[in-house]
Amino acid sequence: MARREDRFVVVGAGRVGTAVGHLLQQRGLRVTAVASRGEDSLQRAGGYISGALMTTDVVKAGKKGNVILITTPDDLIADTCLSLVSGGAVRRGAYVLHMSGALGLDVLAPAEEAGARTASVHPLQTFADVKGAVKRIPGSVFAVTARDEAAGEWAKELVRSLGGDPVTLAEKDKTLYHIGAVVASNLLVALEHAAELIYQEIGIYRETALKALMPLIEGTVSNLKRLGTEGALTGPVARGDIGVVRRHLECLEREERELLLRVYASLSLFALDLAEAEVSRTRCEELEELLRHYL
């Protein structure tokens, strides 16, 4: 469990690192150093985290604490950990954590070999900026992956002190877990962009299109919250309206929108999975055959 005497070091003063440092301080914990690549992000972090050493020297920062949170981009976590260890910043008994959803603990192996406890704590949330991260970290579910039970319990306690809700995730399941997060969030944004592009073709441009679609998007999210995926699904597949689905597919084919045609057909198959309880078996089979034809 995070203790008052723990000294936290944040390496990577981006959206997540800055917000986590800020929230730790808000909860009365000590953030002694923040390291980042550029002065600009350190300066911004200074507006959220006070009294900490702000430096571009990762090792110097690491030496200031016994809990090191690596919040660089994922591709740099392994190298950053290695630099910290080879610079002598990771002592036996220290904690070294990262916050990536995609990576396992192997990227922290040098710290483990140096006698540190390692874990990853991934917020199942999307942060477009520091302000949003400060607001959304509390209340978010965090996937906690640790090498041993003691480190896991410690990391869960840390998550709770950030106001998060920790759940245990096995290292072997991280990639699929992260794919789920990407599908639910990033690809949802991509899907709305696809809708924007369709509207652009009929003369409704970006901001107007998104503004017009927003009540529909919000209505959908609200239905999902209240009714779950099965209850929230409406539209031609949910009604078993084969004629409409065929018309859509033929239109996309005529317009030579091949990528969208495949996306439409693939996602409609997932929709069909949800509609099976409501739509007759024969109709489902017909729909499936039609959709598979366009994959």
* Residues at the contact surface with ligand NAP, assessed by CB under 6 A: 11-17, 35-38, 41, 58, 71-74, 76, 80, 98-101, 122-123, 125-127
Q: Please, what is the minimum distance in Å from the beta carbon of residue 126 to ligand NAP?
A: 4
Q: Please, what is the minimum distance in Å from the beta carbon of residue 143 to ligand NAP?
A: 10
What is the Cβ-side half-sphere exposure of residue 211, based on CA atoms within 13 angstroms? 5
Identity of the residue, 66 or 80, whose beta carbon is nearer to ligand NAP in the bound complex: 80
Identity of the residue, 13 or 209, whose beta carbon is nearer to ligand NAP in the bound complex: 13
Q: Please, what is the minimum distance in Å from the beta carbon of residue 215 to ligand NAP?
A: 25
Identity of the residue, 15 or 174, whose beta carbon is nearer to ligand NAP in the bound complex: 15
Identity of the residue, 132 or 274, whose beta carbon is nearer to ligand NAP in the bound complex: 132
Identity of the residue, 35 or 245, whose beta carbon is nearer to ligand NAP in the bound complex: 35
Please, what's the b/e burial string for 220-247 (b: 16 or more CB within 10 A of its CB; e: otherwise)?
eeeeeeeeeeeebbeebbbebebeebbe
In degrees, to the nearest 5, what angle opens at C-alpha 247 toward C-alphas 243 and 249? 115
Q: Please, what is the minimum distance in Å from the beta carbon of residue 59 to ligand NAP?
A: 10
Identity of the residue, 99 or 287, whose beta carbon is nearer to ligand NAP in the bound complex: 99
Q: Please, what is the minimum distance in Å from the beta carbon of residue 117 to ligand NAP?
A: 19
Strands in the chain per DSSP E: 7-11, 30-35, 53-55, 67-70, 95-98, 117-123, 141-146, 165-168
Residue 31 to residues 21, 132, 218, Cα–Cα distance (Å): 6, 20, 38
Residue pair 39/60 in contact (Cβ under 8 Å)? The answer is no
Identity of the residue, 32 or 41, whose beta carbon is nearer to ligand NAP in the bound complex: 41
Identity of the residue, 53 or 238, whose beta carbon is nearer to ligand NAP in the bound complex: 53
For tokens 């809700």, name the residue: 165
Strands in 25-104 per DSSP E: 30-35, 53-55, 67-70, 95-98
Report the residue closest to ligand NAP, judged by CB. 14
- What's the CA gap between 17 and 15, in Å, rounded? 6
3-class DSSP state of 66: coil
Q: Please, what is the minimum distance in Å from the beta carbon of residue 39 to ligand NAP?
A: 8
Residue 163 to residues 28, 36, 135, 148, 218, Cα–Cα distance (Å): 13, 25, 10, 23, 26
Q: Please, what is the minimum distance in Å from the beta carbon of residue 121 to ligand NAP?
A: 9
Nearest to 54 by CA among 21, 32, 72: 32
Q: Please, what is the minimum distance in Å from the beta carbon of residue 18 to ligand NAP?
A: 8
Residues in the chain: 295
3-class DSSP state of 25: helix
